[in-house]
A and B are shown apart, each in its own frame.
Chain A
Amino acid sequence: MSIEVRQLSKRFGDFVALDQVDLRVDDGELLALLGPSGCGKTTLLRMIAGLDRPDAGQILFAGQDATTRHVSERQVGFVFQHYALFRHMTVFDNVAFGLSVKPRATRPGKAEIRDRVMSLLKLVQLDWLAGAYPAQLSGGQRQRVALARSLAVEPKVLLLDEPFGALDAKVRKDLRRWLRDLHDQIHLTSVFVTHDQEEALEVSDRVVVMNHGRIEQVGAPDDIYENPASPFVTHFLGDVNLFHGRVEAGSLTIGPFAHAVHGLDDAERAVAYVRPHDLDITWVADGALAQGRVAHIHAVGPLVRLELQRDDGAAIEVALPKERYRELGITPGDVVYVKPRKLAVFPGGADYAI
């Protein structure tokens, strides 16, 4: 089922949680809402679920207005960050809950409930824990039970609020891969909220980057990563170096350095954003963005991380392939130049702080 959000707004006192947000989630898609805390992503998710009411705007499920529909009638599965399992019920009873609260006329029989619950528990690979209580499970297991529970009522939409936020790194990685596989199996329209860009980029079909109650950019993960539409998105998707300068006659000028850029209008102030692995180091100033003194070298792993210090004290981070690093023969204290292989230039001088 597709979801459409039109001009959705919500304020909490003076705080604007959502500011006229428009969004479309296609049928069968796995969409990530990505942003820093307080950006409105969870509020948006909760409104789609019907757990919060918008101040203005509309929510449509499969083209039908569902804005005022009660949570229990929206047929959404919701997975909470802290699982929200019923502690006094076994895993089995937790998963069966949604079926057992149905009105008698539509409630499946005992045997049918049993079959459905057990097949769901098999799907989340926890059928062997049917008789356990939530307190006896690990975090990852609890979240899988929560997922099975939300799937039991055959929702038309699955909503996940930071589903892996409370888990440790290893479990988190396993679970998100597993979620992706699960989605490929059942093709349920799903929206999940996260503040972890890696998670969003790895799992989803499309990513929605949000900030201050607005959508900054919507797109496929690689598209967003390669072509960020704003300084905020650039910043949020990973480490980035900033170079302040101006655009003049097709080149970006930073102090004594000039780097050719194409298709940009002249601008008095501009900021170039370059990811550490998009920077190369050279011994010559031609086409460089800046110079710096090598302060630290971390040579563990396939990428060598170098920290350069500019004259004004600012740091530049560079990630070089090992071969390139060996070829250059850099040692700490050397003064080198950095040259971008790829950069994003945004006019205007404002630093984008997160």
Chain B
Amino acid sequence: MSLFNRQYSMLPGFGLAFGVSLFWLGLIVILPFAALIVSTAGMGFTAFAHTLADSRVLASIRLSFASSFYAALINAAFGLLVAWVLVRYPFPGRRLFDAMIDLPFALPTAVAGIALTSLYAPSGLIGQWLDPLGVKVAFAPLGIVVALTFIGLPFVVRTVEPVLQGLERELEEAASCLGASRWQIVFRVVLPALLPSLLTGVALAFARGAGEYGSVIFIAGNIPRVSEIAPLIIVAKLDQYDLHGATAVAVVMLGISFICLLLINGLQWRVARRQGAGR
């Protein structure tokens, strides 16, 4: 009886490879988290609760997750559109367009933060038009959403793109022959097929957004209880040598992120299981 239901393979070495992977995962991912939790456990429950009861901390955590949620939603819609255009329409400069998608990946996040701030500040290129309308982007929560949208775009585009490439046009043609309208083709044939990859991309963008620091702190203005994100609180606490306070906030963020990812993964698993079973 084998625990892993191994099959004969041209490339043996499952035991070694599995062992190394497990060790690596432990060293790189699990150990730091464990250290975090151990460190937090050292502070005692009262101190932990006291740190979290601070309305400034709570507001920052709420802001971090809410803004990355909205940013992920925006990216779901527009990332999908960008991926669609990239895959489906040949146009001059497509390669350049394609390369630019990765800029948010490659750019130091501080650069992005400064660039966005100068654009959206009340005196900036876009900000000067929004300011008279009463729309405040820079130094407000809206600015955080803008920064996180920028950061998260490639995650959605790059996960949806390959799936879209593999989606046969014949599916659309088949639907059309069966009398489906364009909307019916999009909503009943194309979107359901893309849903698992779209969910993955959104989950990645969301997770990345919740932890984003560099680009946000410039545009957010960091007004306590208004536009102060949780990662900034952690850094601030560390600056004051409040290691326990910092880890307490970190553990809560870790917990929430983990639950969110589990939920999305579960959803995605359900969708994928129906479509891909045995493929």
Contacts and interface: CB of A to CB of B under 8 A. Distances in A.
B140 interface: no
A83 B49 CA distance: 59
A77 B171 contact: no
B242 interface: no
Interface string B198-238: 00000000000000000000000000000000000000000
Interface stretch (B84-92, B125-133, B142-150, B184-192): B184-192
Contacts of B275: 87-88, 133, 135
Interface stretch (B31-39, B50-58, B174-182): B174-182
A229 to B, nearest CB: 34
Interface of B: 168, 170-171, 173-181, 184, 188-189, 192-193, 195, 271, 274-279
A188 to B, nearest CB: 14
Contacts of A51: 173, 176-177
Interface stretch (A94-102, A116-124, A322-330): A94-102
Contact of B277 (A74, A77, A135): A135
Contacts of A72: 176-181
A148 B175 CA distance: 14
A302 to B, nearest CB: 42
A233 B182 CA distance: 42
A168 B171 CA distance: 23
B178 A149 contact: yes
A58 B274 CA distance: 43
A61 interface: no
A78 B179 CA distance: 11
Question: Looking at chain A, what size class is its interface with the partner chain?
Answer: 20 to 34
Given A72-B178, A77-B177, 12 more contacts: A71-B177, A72-B177, A72-B181, A74-B177, A76-B177, A80-B174, A97-B188, A101-B180, A133-B277, A135-B279, A146-B174, A153-B178
A150 interface: yes
Contacts of A76: 177
Binding site of B, secondary structure by majority: helix, strand, loop or mixed?
Answer: helix
Interface in A36-94: 49, 51, 71-74, 76-78, 80, 82, 84, 86-89
B256 to A, nearest CB: 30
Tell me which of B171, B173, B176, B179 has the highest count of chain A C-beta atoms within 10 A of its own C-beta: B179
B193 A87 contact: yes
A7 interface: no
B171 A150 contact: no
B170 A97 contact: no
Nearest to B185: A101
Contacts of B177: 49, 51, 71-72, 74, 76-78, 150
A136 B168 contact: no
Contacts of A49: 177
A97 B180 contact: yes
Given A71-B173, A87-B193, A135 B178 contact: no
B180 A133 contact: no
Nearest to A89: B192
A78 B193 contact: no
A101 B184 contact: yes
